[in-house]
Structure formats: structure tokens, C-alpha cells
Amino acid sequence: MFGRNKHDDEASAPAPTVPALDNMDTMLVMSDHLMAAHQLEVALAEAGGTGTATVTAADLVLEALAGTEYSVTAEIDPDTGDPFDATFTVFRQAGQHPPAAGDNYKVVFDPADPTRVAKVPDLQAGQVPETLWVLPDHCPECGAVVDQSVQSKAAHPSCPFCQNPLPCHR
């Protein structure tokens, strides 16, 4: 008897999704943590202590779309001086493996206060994992540009926009 009109369709259509406030808060907190870690790394590099950290334990602190933050406990083997234990922060991007016992990282620290330790970024430390996959430049499903630096090293490459697996080969 009564026909449908365009207003019926609009009223039944789902509302567009927006990131939940807690996701935005998480991204802002992660951004603050990354900036603080970078400032600490710069300050400690000027202090002069360098060495290698061997991870003994790692705990998840914060997970966000941009990556994950871990609190790492490690034995620090300084270039000069006696080894000591310390806790510091490690950030991993999507597709990078989490820190695990036995992993080694280049670190900088304050010789006057060895509790102040920061991981040297992977690129500076020359610890960039080799490429695992050859991928297309664009996602074949949605056309988004593929971030080769991340997805070529991921265990299961996927498009960050449409979440579909990316075709890949070795």
C-alpha cells in the first residue's frame, strides 16, 4: 500500500564509523611516548655511553594502530665498563616482531646514571631485517599505496586500508 521513499533508506543506513575516542587517545599517547623516547635517545647519545642490550624479558605496554610499545628488561654490555641490568622502552611497527628473550639491540645510556637507557633506532643501528617478500606497489583490491618498508618484512603482508592480504612472492 505504501511505497518506500529515499528517506526510509537513509534512516536505515548505518551511520559512518569514526575511530573510537579510546583509539584516538591511544594514538596520542603513543605519539607522546615516541617523542619522549626520541628526546631521551638524543640526550643519552650526547652523554656518551653505548653498548649492546640482550633482552631477558619484555612486557606489552601500549598497542595502537601505528605500532606497539614494550617495556624491555635487558643485560647491558657497555662498550667500556661492567655489564648491568636495565629497563627501557622498545617500539615496534606493525609487521615487526615483538622483542623476545635473547634479542640484541644497540643502546645508549648515561654513564653517570645507568638506569637511563634508550634503544638506538633500527636504521641507525644497521639492524633492518632483510626483505622477506616482493609485493605490488598498490593494493589490487582498493588501490592504496603499499608501504614496502613495512609490508615487505611482515609475516603476513596485508593492506592497512582494506585489510586484505597482499599478493606476494619471495
Q: 149: which residues sit within 8 A by CB, 6+ positions away?
A: none
C-alpha R_g of the chain: 22
Q: What angle is formed at CA 45 by the lines to CA 48 and CA 63, rounded to 5 degrees?
A: 135
| pLDDT tens digits for range 79-113 | 888 999 999 988 887 767 888 999 998 888 888 88
Q: Which amino acid is at 132?
A: L
Full-model pTM: 0.53
> E strand or H helix at 38, and its extent?
helix 21-47
What 3-state DSSP class applies to 135?
coil
Rounded to whole angstroms, the Cα distance separating 35 from 78 reads 25
Distances (CA, A) of 61 to 13, 72, 75, 87, 137: 38, 10, 20, 13, 33
Rounded to whole angstroms, the Cα distance separating 101 from 127 reads 17
| pLDDT tens digits for range 104-145 | 988 888 888 888 888 887 665 555 555 677 888 888 889 888
pLDDT level of residue 19 (50, 70, 90 thresholds) = very low
